[in-house]
Amino acid sequence: MRILFIGDVVGRSGRTIVSERLPKLIRDWKLDLVVVNGENAAGGFGITEVIYNEFLDAGADAVTLGNHAWDQREALVFIERAPKLIRPVNYPAGTPGRGAALIEAKNGARALVMNVMGRVFMDPLDDPFAVVERELSACPLKQQADAIVIDMHAETTSEKQAMGYFCDGRASLVVGTHTHAPTADHRILSGGTAFMSDAGMTGDFNSVIGMSKDEPVNRFLRKIPSGRFEAADGPATLCGLAVETNDNTGLAKRVAPVRLGPHLQEARAEFWD
């Protein structure tokens, strides 16, 4: 299976490059599964139903969230009619929506897509490791799912790496999101799980993690807010991770970073070009 994971889409700039580039990437790379993190898609804060549908129209098979899941209050309602919108699985019982979903890929295969939030320097949610263990036990790789993709939305690299090793051999991909800066540690772990500490953001990198620079810089200098954070609106870079799995095992056999756009050195899944 050919999988493309796209890191945190920030604002209109990020949405535009997804809409413009993703359909061609699906055709050229013959992608089977596309997962997009969309928790910053609405002006940097949350997601709306219109934006969710834009991602699906562009070719996304699932959209994951994170700590900004409910910044747009409408998400609390429309997530119940959005089966491919996946919020953190370790939210308390009774939270609207779902934290894991069995998605039908473009090739007809079954992919379990899960979103989980870390707890270090984040909200004190349920234990992410215990919850992920529960989900993996209920839907084992190659028994109930042909591929398993886990979006680990967390602040610290250590917690993301720990989750990667915890799932090694039981998931196709564990990829970190939230910190918006792509890391250089993409690899296949010893048990066959593809891993990257952070996929990076899909947005304008002439910014402070996707926000227009002046207000974040001012707050660091003076510790006094002078305005709202606003998503930077310059040309975006699409960042993510490309993974090809073994059809017999569901584990990764090839992995490569993807960076398409200005400001960062371009990287492509050259084994598919």
Contact in structure between 233 and 44 (CB atoms under 8 Å): no
178 sits in the region (left: phi over 0; alpha: psi -120 to 50; else beta) called: left
* Identified catalytic residue from 68, 153, 178, 180: 68
Can you name the residues that pair with 196 across neighbouring β-strands? 175
Which residue type, as a one-letter code, is found at position 158? S
Phi, psi of 88 (to 5 degrees): -55, 130
Give yes or no for a contact between 90 and 126, defined as CB atoms under 8 angstroms apart.
yes
* 263 noted as active-site residue: no
Q: At what angle do helices 49-58 and 11-29 cross, to 10 degrees?
A: 20
Give the containing element (helix H, strand E) for 239: strand 238-245
Residue whose token pair is 């003076």 = 222
Question: From CA 135, how far away is CA 238, in angstroms rounded?
Answer: 30
d(C-alpha 236, C-alpha 41), whole Å: 13
Contact of 244 with 253, CB cutoff 8 Å: yes
Catalytic residue positions, numbered: 68
